[in-house]
Amino acid sequence: MTQTVAAPAPSRRPIGDLAFEILATAAGVLVLALLGAIIVSLFIGGLPAFRQFGVGFLTSADWDPVQQVFGAVVPIYGTIITSILALLMAVPVAFGIAFWLTELAPTWLRRPVGTAVELLAAVPSIIYGMWGFFIIVPFMGDYIQPVLIDWLGDLPLIGFLFQGPPFGTGIFTAALILAVMVIPFIAATMRDVFQTVPPVFKESAYGLGCTTWEVMRSIVIPYTSTSVVGGIMLGLGRALGETMAVTFVIGNTNRISTSLFGPGNTIASLVALEFPESPAGSLKLASLLALGFLLFVISFIVLAISRLLLRKGKVA
Amino acid sequence: MSATLSHRGPARDAVVANALSRRRQRVNFLVEALCLLATFVGLAFLALILATLLYLGFSGLSASVFTTITKPPGSHGGLLNAIIGSLIQTALGTAIGTPIGLLVGTYLSEYARGSLLGEAVRFVSDVLLSAPSILIGLFVYTVMVSPFGGFSGWAGAVALAVIVIPIVVRTTEDMLRLIPVALREAAVALGAPKWKSIVFICYRAALDGIATGVLLAIARIAGETAPLLFTSLGNLNWSLSLTQPMSSLPVTIYQYAGSAFDDWVQLAWVGALLITFGVLALNVLARIVLRPRT
Amino acid sequence: MRLSKSLLVAALASAFALPAAAQQITGAGATFPAPVYAKWGEAAKAAIGIELNYQAIGSGGGQNQIFNRTVDFGASDAPVDADKLVANKLLQFPAVMGAVVPIINLPGIGADQVKLTGDLIAQIYLGKVTKWNDPKIVALNAGVTLPNLAIAPVYRADGSGTTFVFTSYLSVANADWKSGIGAGSSVKWAAGNGAKGNDGVAATVRQVKGGIGYVENAYATQNKLTTTQLRNKAGNFVKPTLAAFSEAAASGDWKGAKNYAVDLIDTAGASSWPIVSATFILLPTDPKDPARSANVMKFFDWAYKNGADIAKGLEYIALPTAVQDAVRASWKSDIKG
């Protein structure tokens, strides 16, 4: 599979072959150039902000459009914390689904249930936003948050995570919506890599009298671990860039709040909310474009790590 | 592999062995129950979303939604121009993005194995896959709307095409890699040049998978709001001209959902219902009609 | 696939069709007046054959688009600086006026029962007054039982003209606000939670007991939200009614305002509502297509003459006749035709 079949050493290649290869390569270069152009245009657009604030742009938590002072810490923090929280919630559920679909479910149910879970990925993000705002937010505000604030808010050490008024919106709610959105991605990847485990490995373990869970824990997970992590990182990439759904539910505040129920902001949602009110040539617009550039840098890093892990997984 | 098992070696004492076995069975049962629960949770979310849309959108569904264009509040408008605008831009975006994505996927699978350029293209395509769509919209605005002095249906279609490309790239490459070597060898043995073997043998063999990718891409762009806001803008009137601003369902939903007027809000939910069920139907179709022949 | 193919054919055919009739005009910008522009557009199409496509993309977006000349006119809630108007060769004129009203959520308390002042609202949004039974609030509201409930301030998370108007008012009413936070389409809020759009603010306030927020009047009226009374410059408590808005609009200093950038915040009328603002249209003084610009002027001329009732029906305030005439004179003198 790794080697394509070489042409039978003809003296010259057919003209059609050459043309097709050039066409295909040109398309590849086009995609490369496209992303390059997007990133360069964002960087140039954001340059005034980088110049004005220097490193301070990356270390300042101040976002004050009236005083024209902009710092990226709050949206960067919000982007990372919501994505990580979302993964903490999504990974166990996605794992459960993938495990159930590959090992436990009756064969006739695997396909429909698998499809249904994947359909979660097809719901447009604006629908997630509207649904989150009208259904999940009131539910969180009425039932979940007041209870957790009562129970856990006064505890030492972790109490600060569960304080503040129960708005229903906030970092935790945003992470929950994100989790629902990335579950299908992670579950599908996990299911696919679980299926790559050679049946003979599993059969030997069953032969030794292992339970399903022991086979999963001792055979399947070690065999696929790097690929699983790579799939999780792909989900993380998706969560980092999500815009519309987060915008509806995160509370949109440019302050760092220690409580999980406190409001926050993410890069993508801040850009979406502020862009329409940023006149051309303003420092605010430059700062938003600079934020867009930083988001690309973050997704670059995440994807690079996930690719590295996935490649190792393939080699192993 | 058995060395990695935690309970190894036979237990000498039957009682201990029995207790151990019972404990292992209990753990196993617990994990299986949790997995079933996780699956239920996933399905419950889907059901909840669909139920919400049906509950809030279904009552507003009527023939006039499909026969009347968007109108000011209180004038009994529909969504006709938004639906048609969305169909046109989605179709055009797919038509532009699919061939490019197909070629890139072919390049990655057939020509670029192990090459540095190929690695770079694959990486960049995956970055595009998770790029925030609002940034793609901003980019198209900078290169197409601002210099040429106007919002247009074309700009909207191009922004959507940029989203289509990486999705098609991913599925095309994956599917082409699954084509058995024997099939290619057969083509070569018949004296077919490589491009013919790719186009007439590999594409045909991979058709189901590639078509699934295209349908998934359509599903994705049909619901995109952010890239259209600054490219095709929207249009309150009936217009099929691609050089003019063009209406679309997601942008209309976005604007109506936040308005003060009940009839607009109701239409927003109807639109949300239409998009979601349309997209889901496409996905189900992709999986049923084009299911791999095994 | 066949369906999308035939659609493609249809799309390609329409792409090369003749351009739309010259009577179509495109505008973009402020969200706040979008419903009244849409309604005017519908009526004007029937009356004078001009088809308006107005898209609510935000005031900043509207300014950008007319700077780049991607639309026939831009619309903005906040007036544009005089030097920017000159640099971008634009004429600015008001189209219609509207009001911003505070909304609250207190159990058992109905619309316009609670009395507030701009200074108090500023202190609430600064995080200095945090309980509804704070002595300062109780002192204003004899006869109303205010609960011992935390105040949860809610603000617009998206940059918006509504926020610009509201924070302009707080800057006038409270010196700390003016020096510490200031006025803008988005500001560095000191307390509370953000929500997206008028609907987001309204829904969040409805959701949180003790909540307070601010929305456009049309939004509050249409959705029957619990508004409050406010004390105006003359020292009277007024309810948010169309009469109070109109009085504020009439008592503005239109003659002294450059580029019609009139200040309608906290005007002196005895029963003026204190948070009123005009929304503006930006038109190129050197139109690349004079016929389209002429149609824009024709449209607003028609709207001034015939659109007052439509505006009122949607809770907007029409311009005083004297201002309309001044704008018509500016069209003649400033726009090259």
Domain that holds residue A304: 37-315
Average pLDDT, chain B: 85
Tell me whether residues B242 and C219 touch, CB distance under 8 A: no
Same domain flag for C64 and C87: yes
Lowest mean pLDDT among B57-61, B147-151, B162-166, C273-277: B147-151
- Coil, helix or strand for C191? coil
What is the DSSP code string of chain A?
A: --SPPPP---SS--HHHHHHHHHHHHHHHHHHHHHHHHHHHHHHHHHHHHHHHTTHHHH---EETTTTEE-SHHHHHHHHHHHHHHHHHHHHHHHHHHHIIIIIS-HHHHHHHHHHHHHGGGS-HHHHHHHIIIIIHHHIIIIIHHHHHHHHTTSTTTGGGG-S---S-SHHHHHHHHHHHHHHHHHHHHHHHHTTS-HHHHHHHHHTT--HHHHIIIIIHHHHHHHHHHHHHHHHHHHHH--HHHHHHS---SS--SSTTS----HHHHHHHHGGG--TT-HHHHHHHHHHHHHHHHHHHHHHHHHHHHHHHHH-
Same domain for C163 and C93?
no
Domain presence at residue C182: yes
Q: Chain A residue closest to B42 (CA)?
A: A117
Predicted pLDDT at C11: 46
Interchain CB distance below 8 Å, B28 and A212: yes
- Whether residue A20 lies inside any domain: the answer is no
Q: Is A214 on the interface with B (CB under 8 A)?
A: yes
Q: What is the mean pLDDT of residues B104-116?
A: 89
Query: Do A41 and A290 contact (CB within 8 A), yes or no?
Result: no
**What average pLDDT score do residues A177-187 get?**
91
pLDDT value at residue B291? 63
Give exposure, C16-25, as e/b (b: 16+ Cβ within 10 Å).
Answer: eeeebeebbb
Flag whether A27 is in a domain. no
Which residues from chain C sit within 8 angstroms of residue B265, using beta carbons? Answer: 199
B5-35 as b/e: b if 16+ CB within 10 A: beeeeeeeeeeeeeeeeeebeeebeebbebb
Packing angle of the helix pair A283-315, A267-274 (nearest 10 deg): 150
A15 lies in some domain:
no
Q: Among C186, C198, C201, pick the best mutation site for testing chain A contact (most A Cβ within 10 A).
A: C186
pLDDT over threshold 50, residue C7: no
Minimal CA separation from C35 to chain B, in Å: 6
- Is pTM beyond 0.95? Reply is no
CATH superfamily, domain B63-290, is: MetI-like (1.10.3720.10)
- Is A16 or A315 the better-scoring residue by pLDDT? A16
Residue C327 has φ and ψ, to the nearest 5°, of -65, -40
| Chain B touched by A87 (CB under 8 Å) | no
| pLDDT score at A254 | 77
Residue A314 pLDDT = 54
* C195: chain A residues, CB-CB within 8 Å: 169, 251-252
Instruction: For A27-41, write each residue's pLDDT tens digit.
Output: 999 999 999 999 998
High-pLDDT (> 90) share of chain A, %: 20
pLDDT digits (tens, 9 = 90+) for A72-125: 889 999 999 999 999 999 999 999 999 999 989 898 999 889 888 888 888 888
Report helix, strand or coil for C52: strand
* Cβ neighbours of A263 in C, within 8 Å: 193-194
In this predicted structure, what is the pLDDT of residue B269? 93
Is-contact A275 A289, C-beta < 8 A?
A: no
Where exactly are the structural domains of chain B? 12-60, 63-290
pLDDT over threshold 70, residue C22: no
For chain C, the domain total comes to 2
Range with top average pLDDT, A305-309, B57-61, B233-237: B57-61
pLDDT, residue C78, reads 86
pLDDT at B9 over 60: no
* C42-76 pLDDT, tens digit each: 899 889 999 899 988 888 888 888 988 889 999 99
Work out the minimum CA distance from B152 to partner chain C, whole angstroms: 10
Give yes or no for residue C123 having a pLDDT over 90.
yes
Give contacts of A253 with chain C, Cβ < 8 Å. Answer: 157, 189, 192-194
The Cα of B193 is separated from the nearest Cα of chain C by a number of Å equal to 29
Looking at residue C220, what is its pLDDT? 87
In C, which residues are within 8 Å of A134 by CB distance?
A: 203
Residue A158 has pLDDT above 80, yes or no: no
> Is A30 contained in some domain?
no
pLDDT bin (cut points 50, 70, 90) of residue C113 is very high
| CATH number reported for the structural domain that contains residue A140 in this entry | 1.10.3720.10
Compute the distance between CA of residue B233 and CA of residue C108 in angstroms, rounded to an integer: 44
**Any chain C CB within 8 A of the CB of B230?**
yes
Q: Would you state the pLDDT for residue B292?
A: 55
Chain B residues in contact with C49 by the CB 8 A cut-off are: none
Mean pLDDT of A307-316: 64
Cross-chain residue pair B107–A272, CB shorter than 8 Å: no
Question: How many CB atoms are located within 10 Å of the residue C335 CB?
Answer: 18
C171 shares its domain with C80: no
pLDDT of the residue at A276: 76
Residue C307: give its domain's CATH number.
3.40.190.10
Same domain, C110 and C242: yes
Chain C interface includes B236 (CB < 8 A): yes
Q: Please indicate, yes or no, whether residues C54 and C149 belong to a single structural domain of this protein.
A: no
Low-confidence winner among A112-121, B206-215, C77-86 (lowest mean pLDDT): B206-215
Asked if C161 and C32 sit in the same domain, the reply is: no
What ipTM did this prediction achieve? 0.82
In a domain, C318, yes or no: yes
Same domain, yes or no: C65 and C113: no
Q: How many domains does chain A have?
A: 1
Q: Is the pLDDT of residue C105 over 90?
A: yes
pLDDT higher than threshold 50 for residue B216: yes
**Contact at CB, C55 and B242, closer than 8 angstroms:** no
Q: Are residues C188 and C63 in the same domain?
A: no
User: Same domain, yes or no, for C268 and C139?
Assistant: yes
Q: Which of residues 91 through 130 in chain A touch B, CB cutoff 8 A?
A: 92-97, 99-101, 104-105, 113, 115-120, 122-128, 130
Q: What is the distance in angstroms between the Cα of B72 and the nearest Cα belonging to chain A?
A: 22
Query: Among A125-129, B204-208, C110-114, C120-124, which is the least confidently predicted range?
Result: B204-208
Nearest CA in chain B to C38: B72
Query: Cβ neighbours of residue C15 under 8 Å, at least 6 residues apart?
Result: B153, B154, B241, B242, B243
Is the same domain home to C41 and C116? Answer: no
Structural domain boundaries, residue C330: 23-98+277-334
Is C256 within a domain? no
- pLDDT at residue number C337: 64
Cα–Cα dist B206/B210, whole Å: 6
Average pLDDT over residues A289-304: 87
Mutate to test the interface with A, among B29, B36, B37, B39 (most CBs of A within 10 A): B39
> Quick one: average pLDDT of B16-23?
84
Q: Are residues C181 and C234 in the same domain?
A: yes
Determine contact: B150 vs chain C, CB below 8 A: yes
Question: Which of A305-314, B12-21, B233-242, C146-155 shows the lowest mean pLDDT across its residues?
Answer: A305-314
Best of A163, A172, A270, A277 to disrupt the C interface (most C CBs within 10 Å) is A277
Domain check: are C119 and C149 in the same one?
Answer: yes
Confidence of residue B290 (pLDDT cuts 50, 70, 90): low
Neighbours of C (≥3 Cβ pairs closer than 8 A)?
A, B
Neighbours of C9 (CB within 10 A): 11
Whether C243 has a pLDDT exceeding 80, the answer reads: yes
- The more confident residue out of A240 and A87 is A87
